[in-house]
Amino acid sequence: MKKSVLLMIPLLLASCTKQNTEVKITDKDSLSGETHSAVKPKDSVASSENRDSLKVSATNKMGEAVKIIDAEKLPSTIDQTFDDKIQKLIIRIPNYSKSKLHGVITPKNNNMNVRFNQIKLSDGTYDGPFGRDISYDIKGKGEIWLIIGKDLMAEGENTGQFSVTID
């Protein structure tokens, strides 16, 4: 009896694991048709703002969009549209090695209810909430997540266009 229980535990654990269902796309996010771009560093010689395409993955779980930015391409700007009241944006930055992270959300409509809800650090801990600006001291190297969404304690429009600049 004990042997059969011990054999069933690994089977139960294997059957309960969750599979990752991210879909890789290149230029457009199928959730709302916005474009994604990365701005070259400020010391670039070019006079106009140059943009490169980002590695983007989109999932449609409860209206969330996931963007992946290479840490070497910072500073970067992401244009996003929220057209669903429960939508959120997750910006993943793998291999982040700087000691400070700074980000700004700029909505097209100043009355839009959007903010940095949380930051997930490389050690798996979370911090937040924040406002439309974030300036955070990063203690370890690794993947950083910025989670952007509406402020449940504030009023304002939940839909609209905005951009997020990270450096």
Evaluate whether residue 137 is within a structural domain: yes
Q: Would residue 37 count as lying in a domain?
A: yes
> Residues 88-141: pLDDT tens digits?
999 999 999 999 999 999 999 999 999 999 999 999 999 999 999 999 999 999
| Six-digit token string for 144 | 């950083």
Assigned domain for 1 exists: no
Q: Residue 104: what pLDDT?
A: 97
The residues facing 147 across adjacent strands are 90, 118
Contact 148, 164 (CB under 8 A): yes
In a domain, 34, yes or no: yes
Residue whose C-alpha is closest to residue 103's, from 67, 133, 74: 133
The answer to whether residue 8 sits within a structural domain is: no
In a domain, 144, yes or no: yes
SS3 7: helix
Any domain includes 3: no
pLDDT of residue 131: 95
How many distinct structural domains can be found in the chain?
1
E strand map for the chain:
23-25, 38-39, 51-52, 55-58, 64-68, 76-82, 88-96, 100-107, 115-120, 126-127, 133-137, 142-149, 160-166
In this structure, is residue 91 part of a structural domain?
yes
pLDDT in the model for residue 24: 38
Structural domain of 115: 23-166
Which CATH number do you get for residue 63? 2.60.120.380
Question: Could you report the per-residue pLDDT of 47-65, keeping only the tens digit for each?
Answer: 233 344 455 555 556 788 9
* Count of helix runs (H) and strand runs (E) in the chain: 1, 13
pLDDT tens digit string along 68-88? 999 999 999 999 999 865 589
